[in-house]
Structure 1
Amino acid sequence: MNTKKAKYYYRAVIVICLCFFIVGMGLTLYMMQRNKEQSITYFKDSVWSVDSSLTNLINSNIETLDGVALTIGEIEVTDLSHLLPVIREINDRNAFYRMGFIHNDGKGDMVDMDGTIHRGIDFSEEPFYQQAMGGESAFSRTVMDTYSDNYLNYYGVPVVIQGETVGVLAAADRTERLRNILDSSVYSRGGFANLIDKEGTYIIRSAKSDDITDLKDLGKFRESQLETIYKDLEAGREVFVEYKDNGEWSWAVCLPLGMNDWFVLGIVEEHQMNAAYYSIMGTIALVAAAMIIFMILIYGMNQMQRRNERRLEKLAYQDPLLEMNNFVRFSMDLKESLKRENFRKAAFWYGDIDDFKIFNETFGYEAGDQFLKNMAELLTELSEDGETFCRETADHFVGIRYYESREDLIVWYQKLTEKLEHYALFDGDSFRLVFSIGFYCADTQEDLLTVNEMYNRAKMAQKSIKQEKNIKYAFYSEAIRKTLLRENELEARMKSALEAGEFKVFIQPKTATLENNRIAGGEVLVRWVIPGQGMISPGEFIPLFEKNGFIVPLDRFMFESACAWLKDYLDEGGRPIRIAVNVSRLGIFQEDFLDFYADTKSHYGIPDGMLELEFTESLAIEDNALLGRRARELQERGFICSLDDFGAGYSSLNTLKDLPIDVLKLDMMFFRRETDVRRARIIVANIIHLAKELDIRIVAEGVEKPDQVEFLRESACDVIQGFVFERPIPSEEFRELLRKDPTGEWGAGFKKKQV
């Protein structure tokens, strides 16, 4: 190659290299700019995610308070002592730090989660109180709690009674809960968020933030820049700004919270978003003459961008344990899915594992996490095209299923239950895995609601059967809604009802069939009589009280009332009779159980052998050892111990063998469950004979027919209790019944026409 050609050749190479370099730099700058725009978009989306989390938490708490405020307005009760049961129920679900009621004079009575009550707190100058009294739901700025070292934010909703705002239902939440959301990373490599008002003043500062109190102190801003920022904040518009802080560029975005003219301020350092591209520029400069390397770098840059996108999406929309869509993504996908469908019947379901906390404690949290993964795989296996689900929190799952009839949903649930029954545990251990589920069914286009509304209804249906032993699925209905509202009403009233004496003592007589139908005693039964409303069935409130724990004070009230009645009866010269009182399963587990019953008996001076405590057969099956120990201790203190409902459940001869009981109550439901009366009578007669051999007294309860009385008398049954002789009657009527024949020798004269 001659010099002239070489010169042209090298010039061409130089021109090509320069062109390559210029094109490469241009492409690099273009990609960096494009990536920056996308990163800004992703950054804003991340801050929106924080914004949504804050909004959802605040709105959820306000919705909860709105519901309670509506109930308060309906029952027209504002006294703190009457509201305590409702407040404790709400605290169990929402974990408010403090709740209470602020009267229209600005003075509020509040109760902490630990039960501490603060009365007469002055809220009259608090903006959230004034806003709520104006008829709007309100959320306060951060305040320092005067009773602790906590920072709090108050919620307030108006309570309206008969069209008039009578006060504010208020709840305080630790600022720490909101700060935890703000502290979460708003980008894969860093970032955080603060809460500010439209003046730029900090309301809640992230732990990662500098110790500043105003937006303008973030970094160096031009006056015109600050003027534009505050103008946009005042107008409630989104704000994005780049600024320098200690020589480093950072990004900040302000997004409206939709409440109190507040904004979520997200901050991230720019180099955290674009660090990879600075190295790419140096690399391209070194390999400017190599087209292949250049293309590889471009490809690598593109892949890095995609990884950043995936990483950001994972942070915002993926369950960290199950590596599937979280509830936020699920909600978004569900909205799109329902829009795409040319209406199909859709069921929103909500479910969780019964006693999953015990599962974790038994097998360890690692095993619990593995089970949740297997549960997700099982749900995926049983899902059809177009259906989706996610884990909401802990062991709580939600999802959507399409169906032709509700029977399809039951079949699907039964398949799920069957697979759970065959779930393999560890080292041969066993644990009954039960998935309790509730369905909200959209049978028509009009039934489709928002995701949150369908979620709440499905959860309401699941809650209605959560405590049931045999029924583990339920469909939302208006009846369920009314039942839960009724339960809330009863729970709100139960404590005041006990104090007001609305729980009445009824006694059902017991007849000694082998002593010429002599009245041998009676069983104390509770009846709830509300003035102006009448009597509430025990079947309505007893299961509710057993579930919420109020059965314990009710049991004790009934026992003390029985002691007081028996003392008055004996003081009037009444002959000795035996009075039986029921003891709930929850009551026997109380630490002071024995002391209370023994001390009360002693206080009223009741002689030994006249008070009989009845325990259910289900308790004997559940904890035979505890019941046996309690029975011996009670017998030492002069009580008679009775086993109730024998024959109504899974009766076992081991119960009679192991328990030192004095009385066995035979449930006549035994007859109504059998088609062969002759076989039933043989079994009953032999149970009575067996009890006699064990020196156990027999009481047949629920006896309604005269022929049953004759059979039981012939079988040597000691006592009969049932409608065939007398229904439960008020305690005073029972006293009058005893006064008619003080000796108790009723003979054939007592209810002769029925016997």
Structure 2
Amino acid sequence: MREFFQKHGSTLIFIVVMLVCLGFFVQVLALQNGFSSSVNAQAVERAEYHTDRQSMSVKRQTDAVKTKVALFAQTLDGIADARTAADKVRVARTSDYFAGEMFADIMYYADGKLYDYNDEQVTVYPGLAELADAETTMLTGAFQFDNRLMSVGVYAPVSEGALSGIVAVYDVNVLWASDLSQKDNTSVSASEFVLLCRSDGQILRRMTNTDTFDVGPEPVQSGFLSAYVIDETAYKSLTKCIANGTDGSAMFTYGTESYVAVVRFFGKENGNAFLFDVYKLSTVYGSGFEMSTQISGALVGLSLLIVGFGCVFVLDRRKTNKIIYNIEMINEELECATATKFRKDVPELLRRHKNSKFVLVSLRINNYGYLEGRFGDEKAHNLLKHERNILQTSLRPGETYGYSSEGEFLVLLNYRNRKELGIRLGKIYRVVNEFDELPDDDFTITMIFCAYEVESREEKVQAMLDKLKLTESSVTMPNGTFAVHYYADVIGESYSRRAEIESRMESALENSEFHLFYQPKYNLKRGDMDGSEILVRWYDSKKGTYRQPAEFLPVFEENGFIDRLDRFVFFRACENIAETVAGHGQAYPVSVNVSRVTAIQPDFTDYYKRIRTKFNIPENFITLEFTESFAYEDYDYLARIIAELHKAGFLCSLDDFGTGYSSYNVLKTLEMDEIKLDKFFLGKGTSFERDQLLLSSTIDVIKKMGVKVTQEGVETKEDYDRLKALGCDVIQGFYFSRPMKYVDYRKFVKENFAK
């Protein structure tokens, strides 16, 4: 027995401690369950109280605006002459009475019709026209007024007289009570965020206090609720409230935290808008939740205690530490330092060599992923080992290197001047290119060299590496020639411009500064409009002008924001189509651009199909355009995307065909519905005969494959006649029409192609 306890005593003690801890764990868990239910119910009540206070603030503000419009309507009572009454409305439009940033316009009703200040009948806003016979003062639902920010109409009837009523148009922010923008307002600060929404869930205004949730531009149901409310009961409860226009709340869990979402509608008289708030239960409840957290902490402590005993009992600490060190610090395949060890070693070297000048250099093999795919992992890894050997033999005392990822090595070098550094790096580049294991003799290894000259030894290594990344993202791809790109040279005005764009892109999207422009396309066969391509423009509210797309789109494509912008444009495009159909207008097919960043998102196809279905857009009414450069990068991936989109009811188009990536492999591999020829085909070459042969043969090949041919950049009648004679299907360009705002586009269609 003694021998048994001597041999297994520690094991038995460990088992006893585990059982005691487990029993205590069960007891505490039972107590916590009962306490948590009570705490949750009280937290929900407090959250609803906060939202009710916000709702009262909004109603006070809307009541003030309705009263103001109603008082002016009373001044029109008894005026029997329509001209006199209309003149009074026209004068009020620019008077101090309606002065303010949120006031947009005022119109009047007479003989059951709506007129603007120029006495012209207004028919483009069906929601306003329907108020002609309303008998009470009320707000309309939010709508887009004059291609500007979202707006609401405040209607007030005229009791007696030539006019039957007036409607004042305000920026939708008139619904946003001023105290909702004050973070010291306790009812607001207690929330994660506050959303002001249209009756259909479209977000009009927001106040965000934390970055826990990424609330996009989509309606609450398809955006926030679909993304974060996993519990089916809570999801159905909240979506039902929004669909029925009723108040409600529901609890849900995200991560390890519990939250409550509250819905409060303002009523039909206030345009059926509503507030959607989300609160963290621990924030709205306070100390009670702290106690619950302490209980949970005790449970976690017990768990850690059990795990600690297990680790001490099972593992040897020194072996564990060694394994962890090797994983973090040593790249097993290359048998060299990792980027983590490099970041750790650099500060020590800088400290020891105080009188030396240092430069941080990144050496990246260009298109390393492509190289792996083409020649195989083994050849690619052998190339990295070849480069590692070169660095090992090239480094001097006081220098170091490490492998980062994707064909990139990081190096800390001692240097006197840029000329000497260029010679050292140029030699490394030449020796790397002596690698002879790649079977294709025509393949040239190209590299990107970016350098950051260390200015302060107090600067964090990660900050230096970030500057290297920024430098790399700002330079053009190498063409086979050797060059070193210095941070100080590359990052100047372009960095400031990029930083300014990135600092404003979120607010620009929230404030609807991105506008949709429509460029009509003309069908040469039918002699009729073929549809339009939707382009996006950024209206800079600070400068009062539109930014050039080439200024901001490349930035968005690099930082990933283009995905949100693409989805915003697509959602708004579908919304406009549905609005046109609802107003019995003539709707033509549209083309919408899709970036590579958007197309590779996991939910890309599902999202676009869901939005098309939401607005009841017919199948094959919308064409999604992809650039030829995307096709060149990955034919197989794009081919799968196109197949999924066809099943989801979309047509697909290849844009910019002929811009340098053209290959008949595009036509063989991708089942496109349309090929858009780049303006390059209309440019003048060495002879007209060669130009004509190239253009005609390209059109002929594509048409014989049953694919529609669209020529972009058509600006002259000469181009028009030439393309028509060659059998081109569709043209797009300034000769037919320039891009125009949505309101102008509707007018263009009505005046020229109304059926």
Rg bigger for which structure? 1
TM-score, with length taken from structure 2: 0.50
